[in-house]
Structure 1
Amino acid sequence: MSGSDSADDDAVDDETAPDGDRVPVLLVRGDREYLVEPGDEMGTDLGVLEVPPDVQSGDTLETHLGDEFQVRRLRGPDLFHHFERTGAPMVPRDIGLVIGETGIARGDRVLDAGTGTGVLAAMMARAGASVVTYERDADFADVARENMALGGVSDAVDVRTGDVLAEIDDLEPSSFDVLTLDTGDAPAMVEHAPDLLVDGGFVAVYSPFIESTREVAETAREVGLSNVTTRETIQREMQFDERGSRPTTAPVGHTGYLTVARNE
């Protein structure tokens, strides 16, 4: 498992969750991977492992039977694998496209609709943005809040329970740098994008279905957004063996369509 959060090169003990709790660390041995909070004790078939409160990334810990585990700091892509899921989360490559296409960075304010597991919201917060995200299902929203604490971004992500369209009048106009949508009613939200976004702000809409994607793109143009582009998000893994190199013959996995537009 790998990632590239530049801020994650710091020592583990430099980071705490907003409520004062320690942000969990990953304990890795071969293909085993456990998420444990500093100061906790973990029992495995390899023995009992005590995790010091001041544990740091790069440390080696031994169970009482002498088996070693390496300590890794929880990095952005790890959230995809360790967050509690309430559905199918957006995959890392699609999150990368959203952040790359919209330029989300430190100091940005993002309005997100369709929180779900919260992976996208957490990754945008780890990029330095302040995120307000809406989730209609109260139980899902509770899980998302727990996931934000796990990812150490509770102070940067405001998880709200409800329908953002029902509360649209309560949102301050021209106060968001980026609008990210992963909901069935995304076209209706896109209608409000010019009012919600700052000049030059972006809207990014993810959908698994082409019908809603087309409606999003058409709505974006109708309300005056510019640079409207839609791409299918597909990647092919490469295969290397003694015969040669080529894309894997496994089926190409479709994840969805990403539409990006700008408020000019």
Structure 2
Amino acid sequence: MSSDPDTDEAVEADPADEDAGGRVPVLLVRGDREYLVAPGGEQGTDLGVLEVPEDVQPGETIETHLGDAFQVRRLRGPDLFHHFERTGAPMVPRDIGLVIGETGISRGDRVLDTGTGTGVLSASMARAGASVVTYERNPEFAEVARENMELGGVADAVDVRTGDLTEELEELEDESFDVLTLDTGDAASIVAHAPELLVEGGFVAIYSPFIESTREVVETAREAGLSNVRTRETIQREMQFDDRGSRPSTAPVGHTGYLTIARNV
């Protein structure tokens, strides 16, 4: 799979101890070509076949059987956005960075997530050191997400469950999570149970592209007794630099969604 590099960076730590098998994929890069391949794997390209050694290390150079060289790079968070198989529109790196930054997700945290989709958010949180339980209603999407967790080297840290979280709430209330992340249309019905799901001081982060569902989430969070409830629109403008001068791009404004954060205190 080929893609252009992206400059957005998500907050991240090293992958979950680099996987017990030491087979966390690496990026093979030459110009605008990028391939994500596990050590010991093989990748066909228009420049020939790449055979990746079991002991390959970032910074090395490997060649195709036709002699064309590729640089080996360590997998980083934004690469997941470009290389995961998609089952919908994944959360973009800048918004993932906001979720992780606003909730302080770090090593040792337990996260409950729903609306897995492609799984970029779940994988990014696992790379930050958390263990994640994530629910996806669509069985096909859930299977793709599991494959993506393998690809991202975080399968041991992310439990992708097929099902509707709203039907599992009573059982999960016996557990405790540090963070609850929601990217689903019925988020408000789950937010109502946040005090029972979260440890004291735990955070809930709700992502929605629509203002109507965001308002419902905010009202429910307040009724549930959550504190520090706040919503921000996630928006960025790309800058243009040329011989005439510097200015924001005239392309459409980069709205991606609304992020609501609340805390169980």
Letter in 1 for 2:215: R
**2:134 equivalent to 1:145:** no
Q: Are 1:157 and 2:196 an aligned pair?
A: no
Q: Find 1:15's aligned residue among 10, 14, 18.
A: 18
| Distance in 2 between residues matched to 1:5 and 1:226, nearest whole Å | 27
Asked if the contact 2:12–2:124 (Cα under 8 Å) also holds between the matched residues in 1, the reply is: no
Q: Distance in 1 between matches of 2:149 and 2:42?
A: 23
Output aligned runs, 1:182-221, within 5 Å.
182-221=183-222
Aligned length: 257
Which amino acid is 1:180 matched to?
T
User: Counterpart in 1 of 2:124?
Assistant: 123
User: Do 1:95 and 1:120's aligned partners in 2 also have CA atoms closer than 8 Å?
Assistant: yes
Q: Percent identity?
A: 80
1:164 offset after TM fit, Å? 0.8
Counterpart mapping for 1:108-119 below 5 A: 108-119=109-120
Q: Go from structure 1 to structure 2 and tell me whether the alpha carbon gap of 1:51 and 1:25 turns closer, same or farther (over 3 Å shift).
A: same
Amino acid of the structure 1 residue aligned with 2:260: T
Question: 1:148 & 1:38 partners in 2: Cα distance?
Answer: 16
Residue 11 of structure 1 corresponds to which residue in structure 2?
none
Amino acid at match of 2:68: D
After superposing the two structures, state which structure 1 stretch, 207-216 or 64-73, moved more.
64-73
Match runs of 1:1-264 below 5 Å: 1=5, 3=9, 5-7=12-14, 15-16=18-19, 20=21, 22-173=23-174, 175-264=176-265
SS in structure 2 opposite 1:256? Answer: strand
Q: Distance in 2 between matches of 1:83 and 1:118?
A: 8
Alignment TM-score, normalising by the size of structure 1 = 0.92
Equivalent pair of 1:206/1:259 in contact (CA under 8 Å)? yes
String of CA shifts for 1:75-103, please: whole Å, max 9, x gaps.
Answer: 11100111111111111111011001111
Shift of 1:216: 0.3
1:127 CA displacement: 0.5
List alignment gaps of at least 5 residues for structure 2: none
Residues in 2 aligned to 1:131 and 1:64: alpha-carbon distance in whole angstroms: 40
CA contact (8 A) 1:122 1:148 kept: yes
Q: CA deviation at 1:58?
A: 0.6
Q: CA deviation at 1:154?
A: 1.1
Give the conservation status (yes or no) of the 8 Å contact 2:13–2:128.
Answer: no
- Partners of 1:53 and 1:120 in 2: how far apart? 28
| 8 Å CA contact 1:173, 1:197 repeated in 2 | no
AA of the residue aligned to 2:217: V
Deviation of residue 41 (structure 1)?
A: 2.8
The superposition leaves residues 50-71 of structure 1 with CA deviations (integer Å, 9 ceiling, x where unpaired) of: 2111111011112232211101
CA deviation digits over 1:123-177, x for unaligned, max 9?
0011011111111111111111111111111111111111111011111446111
Aligned-partner Cα distance in 2 for 1:131–1:153? 10
Alignment gaps of 5+ in structure 1: 9-13
Check the 8 A contact 1:174/1:198 in 2, yes or no. no
